[in-house]
Structure 1
Amino acid sequence: MKEENSSLHRTTLRIIETLELIADNPGRFTLSDISDNLQIPKSTISPILHTLVHKGFLSLGSDQHYRIGFSAYNIGTGFLHQFSFLDEIEKILSDVTNVCMEASHFAVLSGGDVLYLKKVNSPEPIRMVSFVGNKIPAYSTALGKALLLNLTISDIKKLYPDGLVPVTEHTITDFTELKEQLLKARQEGYVYEVEESNQYIRCIAVPIRKAEKIVASISVATPVFRYDDKKEALIKTLLSNAQYKIETLINTLKINYEDLIQ
C-alpha cells in the first residue's frame, strides 16, 4: 500500500483505493490481484471486498473478477446532478477577474469560430464587450489561436477556404504570419492578440487540454490604455493558475467533457 498522510483513516483509505483500482480496471482483478496491486494482505482485503459486494458497490462475477456495482454508479450520478461544469469554470474565471479587474473568457472551437461559453465582466466602466454564445473567427482572437495551436497550417487552411478575412484593420490575414504566431505561442505557452478582433483591446490566452488534446481556452481582455508590462505579468500568472485548475477538473472527471458544456 502506498504511503499516505498519517492523519488519514487507514481502513477508509483502503476502501477508497480498492474502489479506484477496480473502477480503472473493470473485470480485470481477482482477490489475489487486488491484494498484490494494493500491497494489502488477503486476510485484510477479503472482508473489505465482501462488504462492498454486499452493499452493491462492487459486483463479483462467476469468473471471480470484480467490477463496480450499481451503488457506486448511483453515488456518481448524484454528484453529476449537483455539479455544473460551467458553474465551476465561472468560479475560476471570477477569481481571475477579481484580481486583475479585467474581463475573462472560456471558449471552445466551433468549426473555424470561437464559441464563447462563459464570460466574467470587468468591474471597470470601460471594458471589452462580448457575449456568451457569440462566435468570431478563431484566427482573429487570442482565445481562438490558443484553440488552433495543435493544428497544422494545412488543417487551418481547410477551416478557412476563403482565407483569413479581416475583422479589424489589425487582423492577421496571412497564413504564414499566423503559422509563425502559433509557433511562438507553442514555445511560450501564451497566445497574444493586439486589436485583431476588437479595436483598442488586447488579449492573452492559454489552451485547456484534456489528455494532451486542446479542448478549450481561457483569456483575459484588457483595454490598451490599461495594458502595461506589470498588468501582462499579472494576467499570465493568473491564467497559468486558472489553466491548472480547469485542466485538473477536466482530467479528474471520468465523464465526457463535451457533454458537460451542452
Structure 2
Amino acid sequence: MTKHDGDPSPETGGGVRSVKSAERTIAVLEYLSSADHACSLREVATGLTLPRASAYALLTTLVNTGWIDSDAAGRYRIGLRALRAGASYVEHDDVVQRAQPAMNELNNELGETVHLARLDGAEIVYLATNISRHSLAVVSRPGRRLPSWATGLGKAILAMRPWDEVDRLLPETLTPRTVHSFTDRAALRAELEAIRLRGHAIDEQESTIGLRCFAVALGFSSPPNEALSCSIPVVRLDADREEKVVAALLRARGRIVR
C-alpha cells in the first residue's frame, strides 16, 4: 500500500504529516498580510528563507487564484480572496456578533474609537473596530496584529493568566513599540498584577505615542482570550474623563458577557 501525504503517519503517533507546499503557501499569505507595504519577490524569498524559484512559483499561483495581487513593478500584496476569507471569519465569529451592539453603544456614548481583539500566541489580533467621530481618531483595521505586552488589550488578557503561562507565551525579547513599552519581564509582571487587582488595563502610550488605551478582558472563556478597549488621544483626556471611560467599558463588558 502506497502512503500519500496526509495519510496517518506512524512516526508521529497516528497524526497527519504536514504538506510542505501548503505550509509555504500559508507562510506567504501570513507574511504579506503582516507587511505594511507591497513586497518584492526578493523580500518574500528572504523573509521566509525560501529559494527564489520556489517563492516565485508560490506567488504566481496565488496571483492566478486571486489570493494576492501584483503591480506593474512586480510587488505583491494581499488580494480580494484573502479579504473575503477574513471578512467571513469576522462575520461568523460568535464573540464579534455578541460584542458589536455594546460596541456601537459605547462608541455612541463616548465618541471615541472602540476595539475588540483576541489573543493569538504572543500577539493580539483586532477583530472589530468602531471609529471615533472626532477628526483626530485612532484606526486599526480588523486583522491587524500587535504585541500583547505593548497594548492595553493584550495586557488585560495576559493579566488573567498565571505568570508562568505568560512567561512561556511571550518571546525571549520584549521588543518595544515606543519608549513607553515594557521590555523588562519583572516590570511587566508587576503591571499585570496591578491590572488584575484594578480590573482594567491602561496602555500609557506603549503602543502609539500620544494615545492612551483603556481595556477590559471579556470572560467568554477561562482564562479570557478576548478584550474590549477604548483608545483616546491624551489631549482629550483628564482624570474625570478617564473615570467615565473606565465605567462605560465595565458596563459594556457586563452587557456583552451577560
TM-score of the pair, normalised by structure 1: 0.60
Matched, 1:86 2:96: yes
Structure 1: how far apart are the matches of 2:98 and 2:190?
34
1:216 corresponds in structure 2 to 226
User: Relative to 1, partners in 2 of residues 1:148 and 1:85: Cα closer, same or farther, differing over 3 Å?
Assistant: closer
Structure 2: how far apart are the matches of 1:211 and 1:166?
29
Identity score, percent = 28
User: Relative to 1, partners in 2 of residues 1:108 and 1:84: Cα closer, same or farther, differing over 3 Å?
Assistant: closer
Give how far 1:85 is off: 4.7
Check whether the contact 1:96–1:239 (CA below 8 A) recurs between aligned residues.
yes
- Greater Rg by CA: 1
Q: How does 1:31-110 map to 2 (within 5 A)?
A: 85-110=95-120
Check whether the contact 1:89–1:118 (CA below 8 A) recurs between aligned residues.
no
User: Relative to 1, partners in 2 of residues 1:190 and 1:126: Cα closer, same or farther, differing over 3 Å?
Assistant: same
Give how far 1:228 is off: 0.9
Give how far 1:83 is off: 9.8
Structure 2: how far apart are the matches of 1:181 and 1:108?
20
1:243 corresponds in structure 2 to 253
Residue among 170, 185, 189 paired with 1:175: 185
Q: How many residues align?
A: 168
The AA in structure 2 aligned to 1:207 is A
Check whether the contact 2:161–2:223 (CA below 8 A) recurs between aligned residues.
no
Give how far 1:246 is off: 1.3
1:206 corresponds in structure 2 to 216
Structure 2: how far apart are the matches of 1:225 and 1:97?
18
2:160 corresponds in structure 1 to 150
User: Relative to 1, partners in 2 of residues 1:88 and 1:224: Cα closer, same or farther, differing over 3 Å?
Assistant: same
Q: Secondary structure at the match of 1:114?
A: strand
1:186 corresponds in structure 2 to 196
Give how far 1:134 is off: 0.3
* Uncovered stretches (5+) of structure 2, i.e. residues with no partner: 1-91
Structure 1: how far apart are the matches of 2:162 and 2:221?
19
User: Relative to 1, partners in 2 of residues 1:206 and 1:93: Cα closer, same or farther, differing over 3 Å?
Assistant: same
Structure 1: how far apart are the matches of 2:198 and 2:143?
29
1:65 corresponds in structure 2 to none
Structure 2: how far apart are the matches of 1:149 and 1:136?
17
Structure 1: how far apart are the matches of 2:220 and 2:182?
28
Q: How does 1:106-121 map to 2 (within 5 A)?
A: 106-121=116-131
Q: Over residues 172-217 of structure 1, what are the superposed CA-to-partner deviations in whole Å (9 max), with x where a residue is unaligned? A: 1111111111111111101111110111000110111136431311
Structure 2: how far apart are the matches of 1:226 and 1:136?
24
1:126 corresponds in structure 2 to 136
Q: Secondary structure at the match of 1:203?
A: strand
